[in-house]
Chain A
Amino acid sequence: MTVMLSFLAVILAIIAWWMAGQRLASKPWLESSSAQTATDRERPFVPAINLGLYVFLGVVAALFSLFISAYFMRMASSDWWGIPVPRLLWWNTAVLAASSLALQWATKEAQRGRMESLRATLAAGFLLATLFLAGQIQAWRELNAAGYVLADNPANSFFYILTGLHGLHIFGGLVVLGRTTGRAFATNVPPERLRSSLHLCAVYFHFMLAVWLILLAVFAGWANSFADLCLQLLN
């Protein structure tokens, strides 16, 4: 559970940092105010939908942290044989990174109000993300053909379950991204709204890229060596 507890510590630190700005030590009974006060301290206003996405990503991060915790705990038993990382996954990683980049570019273009290049980059981002998903399925098929089937070994089971779950999240993101792309090609959408949903999609895909990189590190065994290194440093 070390992974999950570390993740929790991070979340807790964020909450504590935020709470620290909320004057939790104030004495509210002494602070009745006589009139509405209007100005001086503007709190940075995050639109509700953005905040909603961040909280949701927190939940998704908890989900993956728990799976990775389970991965490491199960790994300790003797019947674990690692699964080779197919070469295709590296290509997929590049594709997903490119998709993320394209979306980032698209948000930039949206801020500058350049609709033409916005559409092009957005469509590219969408297609690349779809390609990633197709590539993942191809990787599954290759592994299956090579005899690495789901139930044979816990490493295989975890590989399929984690890539599958990540793929489902990408798929969910694609549905939203598809709608946004559709909107970008329509003419009557207020640009403010388009910018907002584009921003959300970009954040979501960056996050999914980060999750994927961590998963890849776990599968490739780097995460393990990293953990060992940390332990050595501690001792």
Chain B
Amino acid sequence: MAVALILVLLVVASVLFHVLSPWWWTPIASNWTYIDSTLVITFWITGVVFVTVVCFMAYCVWRFRDRPGNRAAYEPENRRLEWLLASGTAVGVAAMLTPGLFVWNQFITVPDEATPVEVVSQQWLWSFRLPGADGKLGRAETRDVSPENPLGVNKNDAAGLDDIIIEGGELHLPVGKPVRMLLRSVDVLHDFYVPEFRAKMDMIPGMVTYFWFIPTRTGTFDILCAELCGVGHPQMRGTVVVEEAADYQAWLEQQQTFTQLLASGEPQPAN
């Protein structure tokens, strides 16, 4: 009796916790509301299954507890029931998977008009590179990294000379414009993670990884590292500011290009 009751109470407490707890995701600031919707669908389906299974179990524990004269039924199997349950589960799984795959397809298909923005990580600092007037990022290599050229931009690539370099500063993005984040690391794995954007991706030395999104509201957001990168992992922070196009342009003009950086001889913080 007590056991069944405790099981039911556990379910009730879990559901109440879910409904009443103040801890829920951060208000979204990107176009990835679909991710949130898929998550909500998953919560509903799994929640129903959890409540049903545990309550059914509690009922069995109460109803079929050992009493004098009681004897268990003999029922090796019931194929109809088993197939029914299996197909029901398959339907539930498909209901979660299908929207998930559609959204994933969007997630990995970058729109052509997206502006490239490069994020370069190192232990334990974020740097950024934006395309200059030509709208293109120049080539870059870890091998070319030096104190004068912290992001390893190729000096012989004309497309890179007007690139804007922001070392350890904050990143600004215009609201409502799709951006393609190109992620690069010069030492270990990192992960560019802004909770409000929902999207994230690991950064791997020797590779360029990517994701894309559209910032949908202005504000200042924390950048965290979400892949263990050594003892400084929790201190690896940055800031991204999403602002209106005019403010963004004003900010952009104050930034240093790669040519200016080389001319200044030594690296200086950008702002």
Contacts and interface: CB of A to CB of B under 8 A. Distances in A.
A and B form one complex:
yes
Interface of A: 27, 29
3 contacts: A27-B76, A27-B77, A29-B76
Nearest to A27: B76
Interface string B52-76: 0000000000000000000000001
Contacts, number: 3
B17 to A, nearest CB: 41
A27 B79 CA distance: 12
A173 B76 CA distance: 49
A81 to B, nearest CB: 17
A133 to B, nearest CB: 37
Interface of B: 76-77
Contacts of B76: 27, 29
Contacts of A27: 76-77
A29 B76 CA distance: 7
A92 B101 CA distance: 53
Contacts of B77: 27
Contacts of A29: 76
A27 B77 CA distance: 10
A155 B47 CA distance: 52
B120 to A, nearest CB: 21
A29 B77 CA distance: 10
**In the complex, the 3 A-B pairs of residues with the closest C-beta atoms, listed nearest first:** A29-B76, A27-B76, A27-B77
A27 B76 CA distance: 9
Nearest to B75: A29
A29 B78 CA distance: 13
A29 B75 CA distance: 10
Nearest to A77: B206
A29 to B, nearest CB: 4
Nearest to B77: A27
Nearest to A28: B76
Nearest to A30: B76
B132 to A, nearest CB: 28
B207 to A, nearest CB: 10
A199 to B, nearest CB: 44
Nearest to A29: B76
A120 B105 CA distance: 68
B206 to A, nearest CB: 8
A59 to B, nearest CB: 31
